[in-house]
Amino acid sequence: MELSRDQKAEFYRQGFILLPGIVPLELVERALWAINNSLGWQGLPPDRIATYNSQSFCPELRHDPAILNLFKETPLPGVAEALTQPGRIFPVGDDGQIALRFPRQRTPDYELHPHLDGMYTPLNGVPEGKILSFTALVGVFLSDIPHEEMGNLTVWPGSHHRFEAYFKEHGPAKLLEGMPPIDLGEPLQIKAKAGDAILAHYQLAHAVGPNFSPYIRYATFFRLMTESHNDYGLNILTDIWKEWEGLQEFVERK
């Protein structure tokens, strides 16, 4: 799959791009079968649901081909390489996150909490005092999400640029103190169909929206890292296009 210059410019500006129908429905159905089989026969231990929400449901499937092939056997690796470093980007841990969002009671005062991945919380497995950053986030939608408030992945377009400016001024270690107190702009709840995917910059603020629908939202996420990513440490937060060779024509050097 070739990205047009307009698509690349959109990614640079917005921090993400939607890729309709990029994952064949046959692969989507295999993944759904594996997930639903796990839910039906292994169930959800009540004392683990909060951890599963923070890490992954069906953890025994994270390395299963039914999940990994949603990325590996599609055009998604080529799209990621075209924007970053050809032949030098790979899924962190060679696994996928199975992200299910179950229906909940409607609450009028529900608040969205934007975050960046890789920051410590008590349940997400990230060591305290560390930032486990990566290069790009890929989300594959396994169910239709035609409306808002269906557990939509929610993003703050352009927030990656705002974070970069903040960390240049205050230092990247400020992220260890929590999310920066800056205006991120207006959130956007992503609508999608099963088989659609999103590719997002690591530094794009995002959250999961509430699911007030009658349906479970099914999705998987892959975190990608270039071979050189760990060499940059926290400084990658202040030079967010260092790994994105395919976007250098849009980068303003000051």
Ranges 49-58, 100-109, 155-164: which has the least confidence: 100-109
Domain boundaries, the chain: 8-103+112-235
* Residue 247 half-sphere exposure toward CB, CA atoms < 13 A: 24
The CA distances from residue 111 to 28, 55, 108, 209, in Å, are 31, 21, 9, 9
Tell whether the model's pLDDT for residue 207 goes beyond 80.
yes
User: How far apart (Å, rounded) are the C-alpha atoms in residues 61 and 66?
Assistant: 8
**Token pair in block for residue 115:** 């975050």
Task: Specify the 3-state DSSP secondary structure of 149.
Answer: coil
- Does the domain at 8-103+112-235 match CATH 2.60.120.620? Answer given as yes
Query: 132-163, pLDDT tens digit by residue?
Result: 999 999 999 999 999 999 999 999 999 999 99
pLDDT tens-place string over residues 162-206: 999 999 999 999 999 999 999 999 999 999 999 999 999 999 999
Which of 160, 152, 117 has the alpha carbon at shortest distance from 10? 160
C-alpha distances out from residue 158 to 115, 186, 199, 217, 252, Å:
14, 10, 14, 25, 15
